[in-house]
Amino acid sequence: MRVRGPRLLVAATALLLASADETGGPKAGGAADSAVERAVAVLDLRSEQWGRERRCVSCHTNGLALIAQPVAGSGRDEIEQTRQFAAAYLTGYTRGDREPAGQHGSVTGLVATAAFLAMADARRPQTPAEDRKAGAGDAGSSGRGVAPATREGLDHAWSTLGESGTWDGWLRCNWPPFESDLAFAPTLMLVALGELKERFGAGELTPGDRKGAAALEGWLRAHPPQGLHDQAMRVWAGGHFEGVAETADLATWRRELWEAQREDGGWPMGALAAESWRHDSGLAQAEQSGAYATAFSLYVLLMTGAQADDERVIRGKAWLREHQRPDGSWQDRSPRRDGRHFIGRAATAFAVMVLAMERG
């Protein structure tokens, strides 16, 4: 199985920029353009608000914004603002300028921020020199590579990796899918390293990166997935690192992700949930199609080989367009607590990335 890496995403961004009018604004166009433009405005706003008010990086809001914003188009101030905030947050703790307090500066926050920054590095638009190298068939390092703050964060992540092969201090506070078990961190980091390797060449990974990746692969092999969301993350990571799981297992998990699609084109949270995902109300996870499950599932499938003209992909994208809110966002019920529906922000980020690919 071969993933669609950041080279594809960068190419899609270049085509998006080419569709802009002379004032720098997007041309009036198709449904995908309109949906993405409205969603990006919400993504930018909520990311800035979260950083200003919460003063941290969270997976569901500004973390995923780091990887969605470059896919939706480059050259906007908001992209650099999100990057600068995340880099400052990360290095403030890695350099000892700030003392960890509660979740601020926790292992979870710093490891996730390093991974998201690495993916953002891999997805940033190519320079003219990179374009020339690509045209000449040069698949090696671009010369830009990993940003200094990202490298600092990755090195710090390896310094906190446990002997078990993962980050044993990762938060497991029943906030699925990001903070409910130990499996999310290894898969996220392997995707990040894989995107760096695909974009800049294997030489961009340090010996510490390679040793850490091997440890994460070993942990994943020793700990079977808990639920379809976990399986999907392993499928995504397995497209970059063969040691994540057996090829047959990856194929089975990918097939099961397809099979979870409903007749209406969407995916339900209940299909992705692990047994440990418990809503405070005691109710089971939703069995009707939802925004997060649909956007996440579609994105993983597209990144691991699904074709845009696949009828199942077309139905999934149609579901997303039909369920976009007037303000441009997607909403979904929290798998943990009513009134704390931050999962809708994650849904918006994944939906942006899915629909932006239509324009590439």
Asked if the model's pLDDT at residue 26 lies above 90, the reply is no
Which pLDDT does position 301 carry in this prediction?
98
DSSP state of 244: G
Q: Prior bond to 177 cis, omega within 30?
A: yes
Pinpoint the alpha helices (H) of the chain. 6-18, 31-54, 64-72, 77-94, 107-123, 128-135, 148-159, 184-200, 207-222, 228-238, 247-259, 269-272, 291-303, 311-322, 343-356
**Are 357 and 12 a contacting pair, CB within 8 Å?**
yes
User: How many domains does the chain contain in total?
Assistant: 1
Within-domain flag for 137: no
Range of the domain at 156: 6-126+142-359
Torsion angle of the four alpha carbons 208, 141, 119, 91, in this order, in degrees rounded to the nearest 10? 60
Within-domain flag for 167: yes
Residue 135 banded pLDDT, cuts 50, 70, 90? very low
0.85 exceeded by pTM:
yes
Phi then psi dihedrals of residue 82, to 5 deg: -65, -45
Within-domain flag for 321: yes
Within-domain flag for 186: yes
Within-domain flag for 279: yes
Residue 358 banded pLDDT, cuts 50, 70, 90? confident
Within-domain flag for 133: no
Q: What's the pLDDT tens digit per position in 160-218?
A: 999 999 999 999 988 899 999 999 999 999 999 999 999 999 999 999 999 999 999 99
Asked if the model's pLDDT at residue 146 lies above 60, the reply is yes
Cα–Cα distance for residue pair 229/204, rounded to 1 Å = 29
Within-domain flag for 135: no
Please state, for a pLDDT cut of 90, what percent of the chain lies above it: 76
Q: What's the pLDDT tens digit per position in 214-273?
A: 999 999 999 999 999 999 999 999 999 999 999 999 999 999 999 999 999 999 999 999
Residue 40 banded pLDDT, cuts 50, 70, 90? very high
Within-domain flag for 174: yes
- The owner of tokens 């690509």 is 134
Task: From 225, 271, 229, select the one nearest 246 (Cα to Cα).
Answer: 225
We report the CATH number of the domain holding residue 178 as: 1.50.10.20
